[in-house]
């Protein structure tokens, strides 16, 4: 993976597709996601687009050692207003960098 790679690491095209993403997080002993700056690019009556930055922390065991995987992520989102509520219509995930290290 290369920072600012134009190809998303993951594409989600429905709200239902998010379920598998959350299920995949069960492989970790702990996760924390810090969502930083967010920018709305377009906003119309029933549709919008934006970008959000995130630092994702995943704790897991490997070779009997406690490890941390830290990822710098960007989400390009499309939102749709349905029945008065804004929902994700599409999410593209870009990984700018990953780091893995032992935890003490």
pLDDT (tens digit, 9 = 90+) per residue, 52-74? 999 999 999 999 999 999 999 99
- Domain at 23, CATH number: 3.10.450.50
Domains of the chain: total: 1
Whether 59 is covered by a domain: the verdict is: yes
pLDDT (tens digit, 9 = 90+) per residue, 28-57? 999 999 999 999 999 999 999 999 999 999
Whether 4 is covered by a domain: the verdict is: no
Residue 26 token pair: 């069960």
Element (H, E) at 20: helix 18-24
Domain that residue 49 falls in? 10-102
Whether 81 is covered by a domain: the verdict is: yes
Are the C-beta atoms of 10 and 20 separated by less than 8 Å?
no
Predicted TM-score of the model (pTM): 0.79
Other residues' Cβ atoms within 10 Å of the Cβ of residue 75: 19
């Amino acid at each position: 993976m290369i920072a600012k790679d134009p190809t998303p690491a993951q594409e989600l095209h429905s709200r239902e597709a998010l379920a598998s993403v959350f299920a995949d997080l069960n492989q970790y002993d702990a996760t924390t996601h810090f969502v930083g700056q967010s920018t709305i690019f377009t906003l119309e009556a029933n549709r919008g687009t934006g970008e959000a930055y995130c630092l994702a922390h995943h704790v897991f065991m490997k070779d009997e050692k406690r490890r941390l995987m830290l990822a710098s992520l960007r989400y390009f989102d499309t939102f749709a207003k349905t029945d008065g509520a804004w929902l994700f219509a599409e999410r593209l995930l870009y990984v700018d960098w990953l780091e893995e290290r032992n935890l003490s």
